[in-house]
Amino acid sequence: MKLLAAAVQYEPDPLDKQSNRYHLGELIESAASRGARLIVLPETGTTGMCWYSREEASLLVETVPGPTTRFFEELCSRWRCHLVAGMLEVDDATGIYYNSAVLVGPGGLIGHYRKNHLFLSDHKWAAAGDLGLPVWETEVGTIGIAICADMEFPETVRILAGKGAKIICCPTGWLGEKCPAATWITRAWENGVYIVAADRWGRERGIQFSGGSCVIGPDGRVIEYRDDGNGVVMAELDLERAVNSQTRRPELYHSLMLDTYRWPPSQFFGLYGYRPLPPEGSGEVGVLQMRLAEGGMTRQVELAEPLIRKAKAEHPQLKLLVLPDLISTTEKGRESLRSLAAGLTGPEVERLGGLAKGLHMYLVWGMLEDTGKDLYKTAVLWGPEGIIGYYRQAHLPDELTEAGLRPGPSLDETFYTPVGRVGLLLGGDLEYPESVRCLASAGADLVCVAGDGRLPPPLALGGTRIPHPVNVLTTSDPYHWCLGRSRAWENGCYLAVANPAGDDASSQEYRGTGVFDPAAYRRARSEQEMMLHPHEGLLVREVSTESSQRAGREVRSKEFLRRRRTELYHPLVGPDRG
C-alpha cells in the first residue's frame, strides 16, 4: 500500500486560535489538493505552547470533541483525508489539562492521544497523559502518535511499532538541535517505521524552535524535509517497506520496568551498601580500530599486542582500552566456528590479560567463546587484578543462531573500574535500544562495545537558516546522525565503540568507532568523538563522572531515565509482537 503523507510546518500566533486555525486550514488544503491523504500538524499548532501558567492556558484549552476538532473534521470530510493535529485539551469531567493530539478522518474524529513524556514547559500547565499508547487501524494505514519529547524515549515508538503501527505521526515543537532531529532518525531506523514529523519554527517568548519538518523512511533516511518557514513537506510512503525483522529478547528486558533513577542515584545504588556507584573520577578511555586476519584468537592476539603496547606508550594515562570483536564469524558451520573459538581460561585470553596486568590498564575485547559444550559471542573485561567480568551476546545475528551459537542470558550486569561503572556489549546489540537502556538502568557510566563493523553508516544533513544556541551546528554536517552518538545521548552514558578496520585501504567508509558523549544533543567536534576513517588507528578521550563537569553530572543523573513512564512499558517485556 502506498500513500502520500504531508508534514505541515507553521509558526503559530500565540493566543490567536482563530487566526491559527485559518492559516493551518490553508496549509491543509494546499497539501490535500496535491493528493496528501495523511497530514500532520505541529504540536499545539492552533495556539502556541509557551504558557506562564495553567491559568494562562485556560484561555485556550477545549474539549475533545470540541470547536477545533469540528473545524478539522469538516476539512477532512471535504478533502477525504486523515489529519493528526496538536492542541490544548481540557478533560470535561476532571478539569485536567493535557498536551494532546487528535486523529481525524473523512468520517470524523477517530481518536486522540495525550502526551506522556512531558517537556520542561509542559509542566507549567499540563498533566502527563493517561490514555496509554494507542494505535489506530485506518484506511491509510496503522497509525501511532508520539508528541515531541515522547520521541526522546525509545520505549514510546518501540511499543507503538510492536502494536503494529507502520506510521508514527509526530506533532512537535523541537528545539536545541538542528532538524530533522537525529532522535527521529533513530526511532525510524530501529523500528522500521515511517516518521512524519511536523515541527513548528520561529520564536515564542524567547524560545527558538528548530523547524526541519520531515518524512523519514523505515531505513532512517530523510525522504523530504523543510528547513524554515511556513509550508508543507510531502512524500510517498510505501507501507510494505515498514518492517522490523529484529529478534527481540523481551524475557531479558525486565529491568526496563525499574525506576532506578527516580531517587538520587547515590541513595538508590548505595542502599544497603550493596554495589554503590564508584566514586566520582575521570580518566582516559581509548578505542582501537585494528585490522583483523583470518584465523582464531592466537593470530588476532599477535596482531593486537603491539598496538596495545603502542597505545599505552603514546598515552601513559590511558586507563581503559576497547578492542573490536576479534573473531570474524563469516564462516557458517558450527565446527568451522569452533575452530576459531577459545576458552575464557585459554592461553590466548591469558596473554591479553597479561598485557592488562603488565601495562596497568583495563582491556575489553570480543571473542568467540567455547565452553566445551556451547559456543557464545562474548565480550571480556580484564584488568590488572585479573578478569573482571564477561558478557555473552544476547542479540545474535541470524547466521550465528543458525550455526548453533547460544544467546546470552542477561543484559544488565555492570562492573567496577577506575573510570566508573562499566557495561559490556557486542556490536549487533546496538541495533536494539533495550541493550544500552538495560545497562544504563543498572547504573552504567560507560558502555564498552566490541564491534564487528556492521553498524549503519552515519547520515548527513545540510545546514539550517534557523539561528541556534552556540553549541548547535548550523552548517552542513556529514555525521548528523550516528547510532553510537544517539545511544549515548538517550541513555546518559559514555559509549565506547571499537570496530575492525576496513579491508580496503582506499575505502573511506566510516566504521562507527568512537567515544560518545552522554550529554544529550551536545556535539563534540566529530574528529574528537569518532574515527572518521576506516583505517587502523586509536582514538582517546577523557571521560568523567565528576559533578563539576556537565558530562559528569549527566552521566550520574541520567535525566532521560528519571523522566521515563515505566507504568506504560509493560508491552516491552510481554510476548514479542514485532
Spatial distance between the Cα atoms of 532 and 212, rounded to a whole number of angstroms: 26
The answer to whether residues 531 and 122 touch, using CB atoms and an 8 Å cutoff, is: no
End-to-end CA distance of the chain: 20
* E strand or H helix at 423: strand 420-426
Q: Give 267's contacts (C-beta < 8 A, 6+ positions apart).
A: none
Q: Give 31's contacts (C-beta < 8 A, 6+ positions apart).
A: 6, 8, 39, 81, 232, 234
Query: Which residues in 166-196 are b (16+ Cβ under 10 Å) and which e?
Result: bbbbbbbbbbbbbbbbbbbbbbbbbbbbbbb
> CA angle, 453 as apex, 478 and 295 as ends, to 5°?
155
Spatial distance between the Cα atoms of 73 and 65, rounded to a whole number of angstroms: 10
Q: How far is it between the farthest Cα atoms of the chain?
A: 76
* E strand or H helix at 364: strand 362-370
Rg (CA), the chain: 25
> Could you list the active site residues?
43, 115, 148
Helix (H/G/I), strand (E/B), else coil: 27:
helix
Q: Cite the beta strand spans of 30-181 per DSSP E.
A: 38-40, 82-90, 97-105, 108-114, 135-138, 141-145, 167-172
Q: Give 123's contacts (C-beta < 8 A, 6+ positions apart).
A: none
The amino acid occupying position 464 is: T
Q: In what order do the strands lie in the sheet with 108-114?
A: 108-114, 97-105, 82-90, 38-40, 2-9, 231-238
Q: Residue 160, Cβ neighbours under 10 Å: how many?
A: 26
> No. of H helices and E strands in the chain?
15, 27
Task: Output the CA torsion sign for 248, 253, 256, 260.
Answer: negative
The answer to whether residues 395 and 190 touch, using CB atoms and an 8 Å cutoff, is: no
